[in-house]
Amino acid sequence: MTNVQAASVPLASHRFLGDLPGPRLIILGAVHGNETCGTRAIERLLLSLSRGEMRLLRGQLTLVPVCNPLAFERGRREGDRNLNRRLQPTEQPVEFEDHIANALCPLLAEHEVLLDLHSFHTPGEPFVMIGPPDNEGALEPFAHAQAEVRLARHLGVNRIVEGWLDTYARGMAQRRQRALTHGEPGEQGADLDPAYGVGTTEYMRSVGGYGVTLECGQHDDPQAPEVAWQAILQTLSLLGMISRPLVAPQDHPLLMRLTEMVDRWHPQDQLTCDWQSFDPVQQGQVMGRRHDGQVVVAPRDGWLVFPNPAAGVGHEWFYFAQRSDRSLE
């Protein structure tokens, strides 16, 4: 185990080496401090490995049960800011998450595969987020889409979501334009950095690896740690790192593409009901109302994703998704 001191709170990682060469896998928990299902599942894996109940056959396995120890200690999403936004090393760290990023980014770069375990605000079914198809574009060039999709399909969930970074980039452009037009973007401000959408998986792809974010369920769902645990076992089995039968991939998972990011502009902006992630909406259906009476409607048939009725002003209120025509074969 190694400890990296970050602003007086240690970031702990645990590394295991198999007898044979193989993949370099890193598994993260509690990137957000109030998302503890991954932490519980990783602690379960640590106990199993330490007792000899499970043996690593090949490759390198690194486990980080708590990526944001300050937020975890306080039982909240963030320490000073969102660790899973603008994740990059910095020469002059200011916020707590800057210190963590300076330890976490080099650790990610040492690995080939990432499994990042999360949960979400409101009730809903688990799902997995993947990156783009292989491409040589400027935003998120990538060359391991097939391996990433294969991993996503083996994690035991039947919803797959793509389109994060390009949707976020468009949302940030709209946020910057609003800041220019209206002055301050909101009472609490908004991070207008163009790289603000880069989190763990996006950073992993930028350094030549691949990875997925598994949203294991609602924060307090008692089944979420089990979803995380089964995903860990499936990942290790898929990569040939443990001796365990591999459960077959999900047949015909529903693939959605994020297309819109909607910010909350005012403390009195209200969602129209207690939306849950992946609630279906029809074109023209009202999803939220602004404080001045303006309505926010679905641009087409699709789903409402990541609703956050308590979102800060100038931050993500919810997302809109539609069915993707991308092939997963």
In tens, the pLDDT along 142-151 reads 999 999 999 9
Both structure tokens of 327:
């092939």
Query: Regarding beta strands 302-305 and 279-281, do their DSSP bridges make them parallel or antiparallel, or are they unpaired?
Result: antiparallel
Single-letter amino acid, residue 329 = E
* pLDDT surpassing 70 at residue 157: yes
- Report the CATH fold assignment for 2-254: Aminopeptidase (3.40.630)
Q: Which of 7-11, 155-159, 172-176, 193-197 has the lowest mean pLDDT?
A: 7-11
| 155 phi/psi in degrees, rounded to 5 | -90, 0
Residue 2, helix vs strand vs coil:
strand
Both structure tokens of 140:
């998120």
Longest dimension (CA), the chain: 64
Distances (CA, A) of 291 to 276, 295, 315: 22, 9, 16
Q: At what angle do helices 224-238 and 145-153 cross, to 10 degrees?
A: 130
- What integer is the mean pLDDT of 263-274? 95
Both structure tokens of 225:
């740690």
- Output the pTM of the full model: 0.92
Chain centroid to Cα 190, Å, comes to: 20
Are 2-254 and 257-323 in the same CATH fold?
no
pLDDT of residue 185: 47
Residue 168, helix vs strand vs coil:
helix
Q: What confidence tens digit (pLDDT) does each residue in 76-103 have?
A: 999 999 999 999 999 999 999 999 999 9
Among 3.40.50.300, 3.50.50.60, 3.40.50.2300, 2.40.50.100, what is the CATH number of 257-323? Answer: 2.40.50.100
Q: Could you tell me the residue ranges of all domains in the chain?
A: 2-254, 257-323
Please answer whether residues 232 and 42 qualify as being in contact, where contact means their C-beta atoms are separated by less than 8 angstroms: yes
* pLDDT surpassing 60 at residue 186: no
pLDDT of residue 2: 44
